[in-house]
Amino acid sequence: MYAIVDCNSFYCGCERLFRPDISKKPVVVLSNNDGCIISRTDEAKLLGIDMAVPYYQNKELIEKNKVSVFSSNYNLYGDLSARIMATLSQVAGKENVEVYSVDEAFIDLHQVPEKDLQKMAERLKETVEMWTGIMVSVGVAPTKVLSKVANHFSKKNKVSTAGIMVLDTPEKIHSVLQATGIESIWGIGRRYALKLHAVFGLENAAELSRMPPEWARKNLGGIVGVRLLAELNGQSCIYLKNPLEKKKRIATTRMFGRPVSDIKEIREAVATYITRAAEKLRRQRSAATIIEVFVMTNAYVNTEYEYNPASYYRSRQLPQPSASTPELIHHAVQLAEELHRPSTRYLKAGVLLSGIVPDNSIQANLFLPPVPAQKQLMEAIDNINFSMRNDMIKYASAGLHKHWKMRQELRSPRYTTRWEELPFTR
C-alpha cells in the first residue's frame, strides 16, 4: 500500500503560519513576477478565483473581497517543505519516503499491517500538523495512482473524511472512482480529458478503469496509458523512486520585470541564471556537457500563447563536462550574444544544462589542460554562499543593479531563513 501526503494550499498555508490574523480569510499567492495565481485557500476558491489565471484579470474580484495577496517567497516555502519532509521521514522511516514535490510525498506502507493503515495515516497527518503548522491531506491505496485519487477525494470532502481516505476494499475503491471526474486523475491532463470525454464519452474514473489495455495503448500515450489503467485497477506498476537519482536537466529561466533590449542587460541576466544553474549542478555533484540558452519576446498574440523556440534558441556542446561557473558563464554569454537582435524587446531569458554526468567521472580531454584548481575554488565559493546567504560572493558579469529583475512587490518576510527577518512577538 502507498500513502500520499499532500499539503493543503501549501504556499498560502506557509503565509498564514506567521499571520494568524488571516487564518480564516481568503489568501492567494502569485507566481514569479507577480504574474499568475498559483495557490489559493478554500475561501479564495469559493470566491471564484481560479488556478493559474493572470493576477490582473482577477484584481477587481480580489480587491472587492479583501483577499490577502502575496508574491511567492521561495525561501520560506523551501524551508517549511524541508521540515515537513523531515517529519514524515521520522514517522515512516526515511527509506519509505519519496519526496515527490515541494508539498507532496509518497510513502511506502508495505510494512504496515492492513488493520493499522488508518491509524498510520492519522499519525502522519497529526504529526506534520502539530510539528510544522501546515495542514495536510492523506490518501492511502494499493497503487500510487489510486492513492492520488483517494487524496483528491479527501480534499474535496474534508468534512466527511477529516482529510484522510484509506482505500482498502474493492467497494471503497469503486465508489471513490465513481465520484472522481476523468480530469482529476493523476496522469490525465487537459488534452486527454477533452479527448476522452468528446471522443469516447467517458465521464469518471470508474468508466476509464473498465477500458481494455489495448485501447489505452492506442489512445492514452502507449505504455504510459497501459500503466495508468493497471494502477486504476489496483495493479501496482509505478514504484517509489530512488532518492539518489540525479536530475537530467537543470534549468533556470525567468521573466524580466520589464521589456529588455540592451545586450548588456541580457548578458547580466544570462550570467545570473547560469550561476544559479551551476550551483544546482554542483549541489548534486554533477557536471554538464550541453548548455542551452534562449531569449523570448512577447509570446502572446492576443490571448494565445504562441512561440517558436527555434528562432531564439542556441545550444553548445562543451569540449568536456564542466561544473565551473566562470567557464559556463563564458559559453552562455557567447550564446546570448549570438541570439541578440538590436532593438528587440525581450521579456524572458533562460539557460538549461544537460548531458549530465557525475563530477567524479569527468573524462579528461587530452587536448585541454586539467582544471583541479577550479573545482576547489567553486567549492569554497559554494560553502560561503550556501552557509551564509546566496550572493555573498558574486560574479561581476552578473551585474550589480539588475534593473531587469522580476517584480516581487508583495513578498512576505523570509521569517525562517534570515536573521534580519525573524518575526517579533510581544
Partner DNA sequence: TCTGGGGTCCTAGGACCC
Residues lying near DNA in the complex (CB under 7 A) are found at 31-33, 35-36, 38, 52, 54, 56, 100-104, 148, 185-193, 221-224, 247-255, 259, 276, 280, 298, 300, 302-303, 305, 310, 347-348, 350, 406
Ordered DSSP codes for 46-99: HTTPPTT-BHHHHHHHHHHTT-EEEE--HHHHHHHHHHHHHHHHHHH-GGGEEE
Query: Bridge-partner residues for 352, per DSSP?
Result: 251, 292
Question: How near is the Cβ of 166 to DNA at its closest, in Å?
Answer: 19
Rounded Cα gap, residues 227 and 208, in angstroms: 13
Nearer to DNA by Cβ, of 294 and 415: the residue is 294
Question: How near is the Cβ of 65 to DNA at its closest, in Å?
Answer: 19
Q: Which spans in 138-222 are helix H?
A: 144-156, 158-161, 170-178, 190-200, 205-209, 213-219
Question: How near is the Cβ of 184 to DNA at its closest, in Å?
Answer: 8
Nearer to DNA by Cβ, of 94 and 248: the residue is 248
Nearer to DNA by Cβ, of 152 and 267: the residue is 152
Ordered DSSP codes for 352-383: EEES-EEGGGPPPPTTS---HHHHHHHHHHHH
Grid coordinates of 200: 469516447
Question: How near is the Cβ of 102 to DNA at its closest, in Å?
Answer: 6
Nearer to DNA by Cβ, of 190 and 401: the residue is 190
Nearer to DNA by Cβ, of 139 and 142: the residue is 139
The amino acid that residue 378 corresponds to is: M
Question: How near is the Cβ of 193 to DNA at its closest, in Å?
Answer: 6
Rounded Cα gap, residues 351 and 335, in angstroms: 10
Question: How near is the Cβ of 423 to DNA at its closest, in Å?
Answer: 26
Q: Using CA of residue 346, residue 348, residue 349, residue 355, what is the dihedral sign? A: negative
Question: How near is the Cβ of 277 to DNA at its closest, in Å?
Answer: 8
Query: Bridge-partner residues for 136, per DSSP?
Result: 7
Nearer to DNA by Cβ, of 62 and 112: the residue is 62
Nearer to DNA by Cβ, of 109 and 255: the residue is 255
Question: At 166, is the secondary structure helix, strand, or coil?
Answer: strand
Could you give the C-alpha distances from 396 to 65, 325, 373, in angstroms and in order? 45, 12, 20
